[in-house]
Amino acid sequence: MADLTTRYMGLELRNPLIVASCSLVNSVEGVQRCADAGAAAVVLKSLFEEQIEAETREIQKHVWLSGHTEAYDYVRRIGIEAGEQDYLSLLERTKKAVSIPVIASINCITADWWADYARKLEAAGADGVELNIAVLPSDPRHSSNEIEKLYYDIVEGVRKNVTVPIAVKIGPYFTSLASVAEALCARGASALVLFNRFYQLDINIDKLNLVPGYRFSTPEEINVSLRWISLLAGRVKCDLAATTGVHDAPGFIKQLLAGAAAVQICSTLYKHGIGHIAQILSNVEQWMKKHQFESVTQFQGKLSQKESEQPESYERLQYVKALVGIE
């Protein structure tokens, strides 16, 4: 039998398949189903500070408190604690129910809360914490240096407060992604998750209003992540997990060849069901057998830029020759 084990952010995983943070892993039963289907770890649905704040405001609306600052603060604090408690309880119950690693995920808006939440998640038994950092740099007054500093401060703050490994999940929109990646690892991230697929915006031209874009990825979306995993593998001092656009065993294998230590999947499980986990793993094993690989480590990073004799081919951006004969 093929050896699928891998090491990701200091965790020993039975295989490289992790269920990405999403609603499928927002309950003990959901996580249990993923573990039974063969997932090596899960990243729980993110705890959103923004959501807790919104729910708390809703409670406050129903309480007549105008002018009573102390009482207002009290209700706010109670609301926030209740929101946190639900998540911490989910984490604790999940840890008791499954033997695979459970990584907790947070998205905060207030600077201090990242470290605060992370500490609480560690205390509740999280095997690791994934920081789902998302900043939309739409304000021209903020330079890229300022935005990047925000990311670094968050990672440093969390690193000081927890001992469990930290993964940082980011989007691809940085001017110098390689330098940001290196800096995040230097500040204490054990892994980078490349790349988050953010909420998409669309426009309804009949109703003339904004509507959500398509919620799920397609297999064609794998390439941005694939390029950056292959460029950064072995170059940054932390592990890489691939996410976005991995829908099947070929996509999964490509990311491992590019150098991913683990692969996070989500959309394909909404489309095909949790049973698809077992299917992907079985197809990966068959492929390994066909290519006479006995373990994942034998081919992990085999097609990364670092291992390549033609490193320049990883950096091609223009089609030029490829388009001759097509146009």
Ligand X SMILES: Cc1cc2nc3c(=O)[nH]c(=O)nc-3n(C[C@H](O)[C@H](O)[C@H](O)COP(=O)(O)O)c2cc1C
Task: Give the residues lining the site for ligand X (CB under 6 A).
Answer: 20-23, 45-46, 105, 132, 169, 196-197, 215-217, 243-246, 265-268
d(CA 263, CA 256): 8
- Closest contact distance (angstroms) between CB of 154 and ligand X is 14
Per-residue 3-state assignment (H helix, E strand, C coil) for 71-110:
HHHHHHHHHHHHHHHHHHHHHHHHHHHCCCCEEEEEECCC
User: Is residue 241 a contact partner of residue 192, using CB atoms and an 8 Å limit?
Assistant: yes
Surface-to-core class of residue 63, CB atoms within 10 Å of its CB (0-12 exposed, 13-18 middle, 19+ buried): exposed
Question: Hey, what are 132's tokens?
Answer: 């789902």
Q: Which position has the token pair 């740099």?
A: 137
Q: Which of 303, 174, 173 is nearest to 231 (CA)?
A: 303
Residue with smaller CB distance to ligand X, 76 or 172? 172
Residue with smaller CB distance to ligand X, 269 or 303? 269
d(CA 117, CA 113): 6
Question: Hey, what are 184's tokens?
Answer: 């995040």
DSSP 119-150: HHHHHTT-SEEEEE-------TTS-HHHHHHH
Four-residue CA torsion sign, 304, 305, 309, 312: positive
User: Is residue 115 a contact partner of residue 87, using CB atoms and an 8 Å limit?
Assistant: no
User: Is residue 202 a contact partner of residue 210, using CB atoms and an 8 Å limit?
Assistant: yes
